[in-house]
């Protein structure tokens, strides 16, 4: 695990900087983690068996198939419950859903939002909602440790890292817990390509980029590679360019980076119309509104 001061001590060694997300971007782990680890534990820890079908559908939309994809687990969980509240079929089966106000307050508090910080808040407040949230989060981590094994990087990832490492300082910028991140990158044999592996315990992605890249590299020498709108927002927060790994076409996205986008970035020809077209296509894949809302509107 990287020590906290590693971010502030980070100094450029190369002319370029590339921040890379991990889950769903480098590794095909989003589907298995959300469907096999997160969702079953949401249903279990909140006793949502009566609406399990809708929990699964809503959770998958938020975390995999929408503009909320890639969000930190805490706001993503709140968003799932917010959307469930709006569904008549859910209210018909379960009129009262859990009150997430204590978790909202935790999210709005300062500092990194990790299991450790949640545990500290629970020790101060004794709040039963936070106790359940922490139990859920710990169960998710245990399930990931049990189920998510031997997941190789997407094809062409290693080739792209090899192409970049001689000219760019590479770091992992992820919302995943750092212990899991380090294990995944080490087990796959690609940890040596990056200078830092940074997860949720070290803060939000924009903050990590501000502490490592902003002001240290020219804007056109900074790139963020990610598969979620949050990665794009983090890139824009420091004036960096963004290269999207399109959900559902990850292999094609990495092949395009290898064949074209990497040379454009290193040659100063990436930002502008080329980048804009890639981002437009990326955003079109991740809608804001859930499909059942459109269905309800059409049926009205």
> For residue 242, what are the β-bridge partners?
224
Q: Is residue 294 part of a domain?
A: no
Going by the DSSP 8-state scheme, the letter that residue 154 receives in this structure is P
Residues 50 and 130 in one domain: yes
Residues 114 and 254 in one domain: no
DSSP letter for each residue of 237-269: HTT-EEEE--TT-HHHHHHHIIIIIHHHHHTT-
Final residue before a domain boundary, out of 119, 147, 175: 147
> For residue 162, what are the β-bridge partners?
none
Residues 109 and 174 in one domain: no
Owning domain of residue 279: 5-28+153-284
Cβ neighbourhood burial of 38 (10 Å; 0-12, 13-18, 19+): buried
Residues 170 and 255 in one domain: yes
Round to whole Å and give the CA distance between 21 and 28: 12
Round to whole Å and give the CA distance between 138 and 117: 13
Please give the pLDDT value at position 278.
98
Residues 163 and 278 in one domain: yes
CA dist 266 to 112, 183, 187, 270, 280, Å? 33, 30, 29, 8, 22
> For residue 244, what are the β-bridge partners?
226
Q: What is the CATH number of the domain that holds 241?
A: 3.40.50.1000
> Given its phi and psi angles, is residue 267 left (phi above 0), alpha (psi -120 to 50 degrees) or beta?
alpha
Residues 39 and 10 in one domain: no
Residues 175 and 239 in one domain: yes
Q: Is residue 289 part of a domain?
A: no
- Of 79, 141, 72, 142, the closest CA to residue 113 belongs to 72
Residues 186 and 266 in one domain: yes
Final residue before a domain boundary, out of 126, 147, 168: 147
Alpha carbon distance, N-terminus to C-terminus of the chain: 53
Residues 52 and 162 in one domain: no
* Whether this model's pTM surpasses 0.85: yes
Lowest mean pLDDT among 77-81, 156-160, 187-191, 290-294: 290-294
Q: How confident is the model at residue 53 (pLDDT cuts 50, 70, 90)?
A: very high
> For residue 241, what are the β-bridge partners?
223
Mean of the per-residue pLDDT values for the chain? 93
pLDDT at 31 exceeding the cut of 60: yes
Q: How confident is the model at residue 299 (pLDDT cuts 50, 70, 90)?
A: very low
pLDDT at 112 exceeding the cut of 80: no
Total domains present in the chain:
2
Q: Of 122-136, 199-213, 282-296, which one has max mean pLDDT? A: 122-136
Q: Is residue 296 part of a domain?
A: no
Residues 97 and 211 in one domain: no
Round to whole Å and give the CA distance between 210 and 168: 17
Residues 276 and 199 in one domain: yes
CB 72 within 8 A of CB 38: no
Q: Is residue 298 part of a domain?
A: no
């Amino acid at each position: 695990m990287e020590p906290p001061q590693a971010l502030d001590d980070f100094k450029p060694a190369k002319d370029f900087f590339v921040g890379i997300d991990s889950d769903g971007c480098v590794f095909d782990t989003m589907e298995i983690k959300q469907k096999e680890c997160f969702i079953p534990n949401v249903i279990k820890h909140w006793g949502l068996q009566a609406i399990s079908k809708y929990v699964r559908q809503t959770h998958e939309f938020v975390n995999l198939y929408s503009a909320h994809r890639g969000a930190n687990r805490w706001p993503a969980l709140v968003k799932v419950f917010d959307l469930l509240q709006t569904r008549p079929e859910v209210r018909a089966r379960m009129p009262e859903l859990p009150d997430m106000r204590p978790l909202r307050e935790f999210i709005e508090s300062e500092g990194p939002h990790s299991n450790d910080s949640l545990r500290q808040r629970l020790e101060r407040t004794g709040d039963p909602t936070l106790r359940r949230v922490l139990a859920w989060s710990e169960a998710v981590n245990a399930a990931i440790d049990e189920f998510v094994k031997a997941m190789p990087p997407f094809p062409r990832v290693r080739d792209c890292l090899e192409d970049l490492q001689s000219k760019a300082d590479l770091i992992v910028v992820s919302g995943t817990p750092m212990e899991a991140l380090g294990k995944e990158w080490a087990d796959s044999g690609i940890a040596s390509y990056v200078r830092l592996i940074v997860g949720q315990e070290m803060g939000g992605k924009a903050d990590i980029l501000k502490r490592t890249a902003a002001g240290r590299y020219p804007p056109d020498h900074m790139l963020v590679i990610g598969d979620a709108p949050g990665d794009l927002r983090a890139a824009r927060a420091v004036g960096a360019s963004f290269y999207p790994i399109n959900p559902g076409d990850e292999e094609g996205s990495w092949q395009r980076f290898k064949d074209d986008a990497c040379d454009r970035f290193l040659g100063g020809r990436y930002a502008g119309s080329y980048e804009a077209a890639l981002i437009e296509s990326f955003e079109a894949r991740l809608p804001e509104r859930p499909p059942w809302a459109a269905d309800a509107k059409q049926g009205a």
